[in-house]
């Protein structure tokens, strides 16, 4: 569905609810998977996805069309993930690597997780990246977003993102080959 069509519906108070319905149907899966890859656990991803769309709804008037609609939504979703992971660390006084370890153990538990050994190894390798770098890697590698789109989500320059992705790829390959 054309993004502009949804935006026009959202702008009009009379069709706003209808436009938001279209928006959630259009983007909910992409947003869910973006979040799920960050937080691993389905229940956490479910909560954060709902929170993301509630924030989108509450802040519709703040969308200025200076960025694309889906990058704006992705930005909200990414911030929800980063805040969630940050609170996790603070709440339990868990150092960074332990949060990554906790997330890796969720992969091992196998609840709504199944894949071959290489796929699981890749996911654990990605978990060794710092959260922001992980988000960038996921958006580029799995979502195949363009760097200028990722730049709208993260507010980072394209050059920095390219460098970040390149380094992340090298780190992941090294982690996997190291086993």
Partner 1 sequence: MNLDDIKLKSPPYQVPEGYFEDLNAKILERTSTVAPESVVLWYRKPAWQMALASVVLLVAFTFVWFNGAPAAEQDYLADVSDEEILIYLANNDLTESEIIENYTFMDEDFSIESEELLEDIEIEDNMLDDLYLEYEINELSIQI
Chain position carrying tokens 């507010």:
155
> 142 with 37: CB under 8 angstroms?
yes
Q: How far is the CB of 89 from partner 1 (least distance, A)?
A: 22
Cα separation of 34 and 160, whole Å? 21
Residue identified by tokens 């960038």 is 136
Q: Which is nearer to partner 1, 96 or 112 (CB)?
A: 112
| Residue 105 touches partner 1, criterion: CB under 8 A | no
Contact (CB, 8 A) for 106 and 98: no
Distance CA 70, CA 79 (A): 14
Binding of partner 1 at residue 1 (CB under 8 A)? Answer: no
Find the binder of partner 1 among 28, 67, 79, 133 (CB under 8 A): 28
Structure tokens at 31: 């947003």
Q: Residue 128 — φ and ψ, nearest 5°?
A: -80, -10
Candidates 16-24, 67-75, 79-87, 156-164 — which segment interacts with partner 1 by CB under 8 A?
A: 16-24
Q: How far is the CB of 76 from partner 1 (least distance, A)?
A: 13
- Judged by the rule CB under 8 A, the positions of this chain that interact with partner 1 are 16, 20-21, 24-25, 28-29, 32-33, 36-37, 40, 42, 46, 49-50, 53-54, 57-62, 107, 112-116, 118-123, 141-142, 169, 172-173, 176-177
């Amino acid at each position: 569905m054309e993004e502009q069509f949804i935006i026009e519906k959202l702008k009009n108070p009379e069709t706003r609810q209808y436009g938001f319905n279209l928006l959630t149907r259009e983007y909910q899966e992409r947003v869910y998977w973006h979040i799920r890859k960050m937080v691993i656990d389905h229940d956490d991803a479910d909560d954060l996805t709902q929170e993301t769309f509630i924030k989108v709804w509450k802040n519709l008037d703040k969308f200025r069309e200076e960025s694309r609609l889906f990058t704006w939504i992705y930005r909200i979703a990414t911030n929800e993930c980063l805040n969630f992971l940050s609170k996790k660390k603070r709440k339990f006084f868990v150092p960074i690597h332990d949060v990554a370890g906790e997330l890796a153990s969720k992969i091992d538990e196998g609840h709504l997780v199944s894949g071959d050994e290489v796929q699981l190894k890749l996911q654990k390798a990605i978990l060794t990246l710092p959260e922001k770098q992980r988000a960038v890697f996921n958006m580029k590698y799995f979502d195949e977003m363009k760097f200028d789109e990722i730049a709208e989500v993260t507010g980072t320059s394209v050059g920095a993102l390219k460098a970040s992705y390149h380094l992340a790829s090298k780190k992941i390959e090294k982690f996997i080959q190291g086993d």
